[in-house]
Amino acid sequence: MFLAWRDMLFARGRFALITAVVLLMTLLIGLLSGLTGGLAQQNISAVQALEGDRTVIAGETFDESELSQSQVDAWEDAEAVTGVREVGILRFQIDPADGDSSGDAADADADDESADEVPTNDGDASEEDAEASGSGLSASLFGGTEDSPSRDGRVRLSPSAADDLAVTDGDHVTVLGIDLTVEVLDEDRWYSHTPVAYVTMDDWREMELRLGREDVAATALMVDLADSADAEAIDGLADETSTTASGSLSSLMAIGSFRSEIGSLLMMVGMLFGISALVVGAFFTVWTMQRTGDIAVLKALGASTPALLRDALGQSLMVLIAGVGGGIALTTALGLGVSGVVPFVVTWYTTLLPAALLIVLGLAGAGFALRSVTRADPLTALGSAR
């Protein structure tokens, strides 16, 4: 590392320039990775929280899935299945309850004219009134999950949803004319970029009935399999019932918005990694070519090629560690600062994983610059070309 240290001390400007470029590329990749992770969480966090060996749906996506009672019964009666949990998913508007105005005011004004002004309690009127007032919140209602309330007439809201509705524990909201008592969760849950609210399966079915879908028993089934369950038997049962059974990770692709969004974002991240490797390789190629004469002198003095290769790679590694480390530190600071404003996730797969990949790809790019080291001729140091 003698030549590497001397070269970096002598050419501090070049070292600072390359380090700054690596830092900026790391910052760009880190911010995009954090944003990708944040957008993904706003798509899948509610589905990730569902527990089961297999997720069964009737269709390509959760939004298309409508399971009938016969399909549910077929999975419940299967020998390879030890447990089935019915899950309902419905995207609709949650409205704050009118509070005292629906009761006391109606009793105080009993004349016919005021009675005509009282809104009806059916689902269509409720939806129209909410849209007109603009005070409601579009949300995803999950029924029958582990996070659902223990009894009917209650709803568990994500904290962000409760804040948007200006409600807290014990307050009331309405969905399709159904009055629900609020319980606030400890953490936010999201589905397709909408906040999640949890209700009981009976309340969810009542909402489906009010929407005219009386034949829908569930949206998805969370299935627990026996230890002796055969994959072919599970696939056969899925074919017989016109359903699909997928694992916890592959089931995330059944979220339409996630499938279309994550592919584009990951493609951009991948292209940035490739560009980073090319840029770092180009920088170190030029740097090594400028050191060809010094390398030839060292070879003429007896330095071995492996020692010179370690010297060059060590120099590249120090530049990468300095640049990537600074970029990840800035990414973490900026990410923590904006996480409450934009969907941004600061975790190991948005910081440490990109950092490790950048260092590996940077070393791979720097490896292309080592031809100048291996081809350096000791006679060059002694000839007229010097």
CB 62 within 8 A of CB 199: no
CA distances, 291 to each of 71, 123, 317 (Å): 72, 77, 17
Torsion sign over Cα 314, 316, 319, 320: negative
CB 159 within 8 A of CB 185: yes
In the numeric block, the tokens 């969004």 are attached to 261
d(CA 226, CA 245): 15
CB 199 within 8 A of CB 148: yes
Whose CA is closest to 177, among 101, 91, 95, 67? 95
Question: Would you kindly state where each structural domain of the chain is located, as residue ranges?
Answer: 2-43+258-381, 51-247
The predicted structure's pLDDT at residue 116: 41
d(CA 108, CA 127): 26
CA 56 to chain CA centroid, nearest Å: 22
Element containing residue 375 per DSSP (H, E): helix 371-375
The predicted structure's pLDDT at residue 113: 40
Tens digit of pLDDT at every position of the chain (386 positions) = 666 666 667 777 778 888 898 999 999 999 999 999 899 888 999 999 999 999 999 988 999 999 999 999 999 998 889 999 999 999 999 998 875 333 333 333 333 343 344 333 343 444 444 344 447 899 999 999 999 999 999 999 989 899 999 999 999 999 999 999 999 998 899 999 999 999 999 999 999 999 998 889 999 999 999 888 888 889 899 999 999 999 888 889 999 888 888 888 888 988 988 888 888 878 877 777 777 777 777 777 777 778 777 877 887 888 899 999 999 999 999 989 887 788 888 989 889 999 999 998 888 877 776 766 666 666 665 564 44
Q: Are strands 172-175 and 178-184 parallel, antiparallel or unpaired?
A: antiparallel
CB 308 within 8 A of CB 299: yes
The predicted structure's pLDDT at residue 373: 67
The predicted structure's pLDDT at residue 380: 61
3-state secondary structure of 138: strand
Element containing residue 173 per DSSP (H, E): strand 172-175
